[in-house]
Amino acid sequence: MQHAMLWVAFAWTLLSAVAPVDAAPKFDAQRAWSHMETQLSFGSRAPGREGHERCLGWMRATLDSLADRVQVHSFSMEDPYGEGRLELTNLRAVYRPEARTRIALAAHWDTRPFADRDPEHPDRPLPGANDGASGVAVLMELARVFAEHRPPVGVDLLFFDGEDYGREGDPDHYLLGSRRFVQDHPEYRPRALILLDMVGDRDLRIPYERYSATMAPHLARAVFDRARALGLPAFVPVMGAPILDDHMPFLNAGIDALDLIDFDYAPWHTLADDLDACSPQSLEQVGILLVSLVYEGLGY
């Protein structure tokens, strides 16, 4: 009798020890949402602002505790619109650095220095809830998932600075961080890069971004097929607009890249780009999709 009970106790211990490891990784939308709130609490994350510095410190400290390795890619350049120099920093959080097959998941972490689409306050910096914080929030929650469930492939979380620095009509001064990252790392050839930008809209609807769908059609199709298989209604496989974004330097370098972006967002580049316009459920759909693509394979 005592023996049997011991055996039951042992089996139970074994089961409870094994169960969390075998459980499918789960993306926690509330944690992702808390990363939105944290970023907005820093204020503007535009280059040169205090919030930029504080957000970088938070990302570094968090990623240092979760990733196998964090690479800091800092550079400076002449400010195209003012005196002095711009100090910019990309981060790369690396999981399984030894793995040759790698998937890159990316977002820009800077916010636009001015709300130039805002009729009332075009010179004030925007909160950047959707345009900035949303992609980073998803990646920061994924950083925890990958720390707790070792991914089957190498994964790099890329956080680009200076995406939204350019003035309208001056396309050369957008994408500052991603351009420089590709230029400085010619040996970096992930199997695919998936970029998240403006993925927090409470009415999330993501069509094919046109450059991605024409230059890397197999990746685009595989990702949208997976979204359909998972029953994620935000992903709508119709052709959308071409959008200049951080995936472009990668596409131009011959790397498969896909921009997941909902550009149909009324508060874009206004002070109304705040938490009210976003929802945790939107972040969750994106998170579930990326978890599936990393753990079950890209499917192409």
225 vs 274, which CB is nearer to Zn ion?
A: 274
CB-based burial of residue 89 (10 Å sphere; 0-12 exposed, 13-18 middle, 19+ buried)?
buried
Residue 143 Cβ vs Zn ion, minimum distance, rounded to whole Å: 23
Rounded to 5°, the CA angle 185-188-193 comes to 115
Please choose, out of 22-30, 157-165, 219-227, 273-281, the segment that lies near Zn ion by the rule CB under 5 A. Answer: 157-165
141 vs 164, which CB is nearer to Zn ion?
A: 164
Query: 141 in helix, strand or coil?
Result: helix
CA distances (Å), origin 118, targets 121, 126, 146: 6, 9, 38
Identify the helix (H) or strand (E) that includes residue 206: strand 206-208
Please choose, out of 158-166, 206-214, 227-235, 270-278, the segment that lies near Zn ion by the rule CB under 5 A. Answer: 158-166
126 vs 139, which CB is nearer to Zn ion?
A: 126
Candidates 118, 141, 156, 164; binder of Zn ion (CB under 5 A) is 164
Calpha distance 186→97 (Å, rounded): 17
Q: Which residues make beta-bridge pairs with 158?
A: 92, 106
Residue 111 Cβ vs Zn ion, minimum distance, rounded to whole Å: 8
Residue 162 Cβ vs Zn ion, minimum distance, rounded to whole Å: 12
Contact 273, 128 (CB under 8 A): yes
Residue 89 Cβ vs Zn ion, minimum distance, rounded to whole Å: 18
Both structure tokens of 171: 């396309």
Residue 52 Cβ vs Zn ion, minimum distance, rounded to whole Å: 15
217 vs 242, which CB is nearer to Zn ion?
A: 242
Taking residues 206 to 245 in sequence order and writing x for each that binds Zn ion by CB under 5 A, - otherwise, the string is ----------------------------------------
Taking residues 112 to 141 in sequence order and writing x for each that binds Zn ion by CB under 5 A, - otherwise, the string is -------------------x----------
131 vs 246, which CB is nearer to Zn ion?
A: 131
Residue 176 Cβ vs Zn ion, minimum distance, rounded to whole Å: 13
A 10 A CB-CB count for 2 gives 6
131 vs 201, which CB is nearer to Zn ion?
A: 131
Contacts of residue 260, defined as CB under 8 A and 6 or more positions apart, other chains included, come to 194, 195, 196, 197, 199, 206, 209, 223, 286
Residue 51 Cβ vs Zn ion, minimum distance, rounded to whole Å: 16
Both structure tokens of 262: 């909902």
161 vs 164, which CB is nearer to Zn ion?
A: 164
Count of H-run helices and E-run strands, the chain: 9, 8
Q: Binders of Zn ion: how many residues, by CB under 5 A?
A: 2
131 vs 141, which CB is nearer to Zn ion?
A: 131
Please choose, out of 117-125, 156-164, 226-234, 239-247, the segment that lies near Zn ion by the rule CB under 5 A. Answer: 156-164
Range 163-175 burial, b when 16+ CB lie within 10 A, else e: bbbbeeeeeebbb
Residue 290 Cβ vs Zn ion, minimum distance, rounded to whole Å: 21
Contact 265, 277 (CB under 8 A): yes
The binding site for Zn ion (CB under 5 A) comprises: 131, 164
